[in-house]
A = this chain, B = another copy of it.
Amino acid sequence: MALEKGDFVLIEYTVRVKETGNIIDTTIGELAKREGIYESSRLYGPMLVVINRGWILKSLEEALKEMDVGEEKEIELPPEKAYGPRDPYKVKVFSIREFRRRGINVRVGDVIDFGGATGIVKSITGGRVTVDFNHPLAGKTLVYKVRIVKKLENILEKTKALVSRHLEIPMDEASIEYDGDSKVLIINIPTRIMTKKNIQYAKIALVSDIFELLKDYVRKVLFQEVFERKTSEEYGEERSSTSDTGGKEVTQ
């Protein structure tokens, strides 16, 4: 067994649906562009997997564990090892009045949320709306082409990979400072992501992963956001006489 529980690896993968050959997901930006599935908000490039963490399909994870670093493999996952079989009972028919009453102007292809259950509108005929609540990949056999790019051994690399995963910035943009003696980790937040949606929740999820996955090495995590004054021309221009500058003062 090449990899075991808790190992940090970077993987590259491409998934296609066996029946159609359509590529539905990939970590490779260029390929995503060529296939017309590129999402501009997504971070492409090798993706962090912590073995047995459940971030990817269990069957894919099991296959990874048998692989060596640098190895590439094609893995075929039948529906029962991927997103399950298609359940015909999960296809429901509604009256179009149900939607109109709620002020919803429904169209074929719409994704509808019924109290947590997500369905896709398949057809609208004769006042009847057919909604499929199966997972879009249910019933599909998936073919993963996966490569283990690298195994991360170093605490700094591991931390940067976790920062990259949660804050959605490239690993080499992750700015961290780590002190192994005090087990304090400082993570500098780049200004450009400061107001990114859900950034504060991302930080909390990151800390939670760090405390679980690097628990022997990190006791304290400190996020820093730094602002410096841009102009220095005004300096000293309007210096007032208040006497509250000098010396380091610390208050609670």
Which 4 pairs across A and B sit closest by C-beta, in order of nearness? A180-B245, A223-B225, A155-B244, A103-B103
Q: Are B224 and A228 in contact (CB under 8 A)?
A: no
Contact B220 A222 (CB under 8 A): no
Q: Would B178 and A203 count as touching, CB distance under 8 A?
A: no
Interface string of A223-252 (1 = CB under 8 A from B): 111111100001010111010111111111
Where the two chains meet, the residues of A that have a C-beta atom closer than 8 Å to any C-beta of B are: 103, 153-156, 160, 175-181, 194-195, 199-201, 203-204, 207, 211, 215-229, 234, 236, 238-240, 242, 244-252
Among A199, A217, A225, A247, the one with the most B-chain Cβ atoms within 10 Å of its Cβ is A225
Contacts of A181 in B (CB 8 A): 246-248
Chain B proximity of A107: nearest CB distance (Å): 15
Task: Given A207-B227, A216-B238, check contact A156 B221 (CB 8 Å).
Answer: no
Q: Which residues of B contact A203 (CB under 8 A)?
A: 194, 225
What residues of chain B lie closer than 8 Å to A200, measured between beta carbons? 194-195, 199-200
A248, B215: Cβ atoms under 8 Å? Answer: no
Contact B218 A251, beta carbon cutoff 8 Å: no
A242 interface neighbour in B155, B229, B252, Cβ under 8 Å: B155
Residue of B nearest to A230 (CB): B211
Asked whether B229 lies within 8 Å of A215 as measured between CB atoms, the reply is yes
A221 partner, pick from B160, B207, B227, beta carbons under 8 A: B227
Contacts of A195 in B (CB 8 A): 200-201, 204
Complex interface: chain B residues within 8 A of A248 (CB): 177-181
Residue in contact with A222 in the complex, picked from B156, B207, B224, B229, CB distance below 8 Å: B224
Contact in complex: A244, B156 (CB < 8 Å): yes
